[in-house]
Amino acid sequence: METRLTHVRANVRKLQEAVAWYSEMLGFEVQNVWPPDGPNYVDFVSAEGAAFSLMVADPVPSGGRFNFSVRNVDTLWRALRERVEVVEPLFETAYGSRKFTIRDLDGNELGFVEG
């Protein structure tokens, strides 16, 4: 079976707090909210690849790790390392890239990879 990943979602407890964290810490921009009159879901602008979204749902955390490709992982690491919970500090991987992993407000793991 061939597959193409188009969308991933992290579960959160409080949508507005989570959106503020992703926007302020990581620079994510909200693209859509649903439903309009009482949102419990948002998705963010994506340059390419799978869309990333947040939704108020159980279980929290979602239980996965979401890896994001970034242009300059060192710059992002320096900007975040003192402001977030670090799961894995910046390191060289065995497969030729550099990455670090943090947790969001709800414990979801977010990896940032260059290379």
pTM of the model: 0.93
One CATH from 3.10.180.10, 3.10.20.600, 3.40.50.80, 3.30.460.80 for 7-114: 3.10.180.10
pLDDT tens digits along 41-83:
999 999 888 999 999 999 999 999 999 999 999 999 999 999 9
Q: Which residues contact 2 (CB under 8 A, 6 or more apart)?
A: none
Lowest mean pLDDT among 17-21, 47-51, 67-71, 89-93: 47-51
Greatest C-alpha distance within the chain: 47
- Strand duo 109-114 + 30-34: pairing: unpaired
Q: Which residues contact 74 (CB under 8 A, 6 or more apart)?
A: 90, 98, 114
pLDDT tens digits along 23-35:
999 999 999 999 9
Neighbours of 77 (CB within 10 A): 19
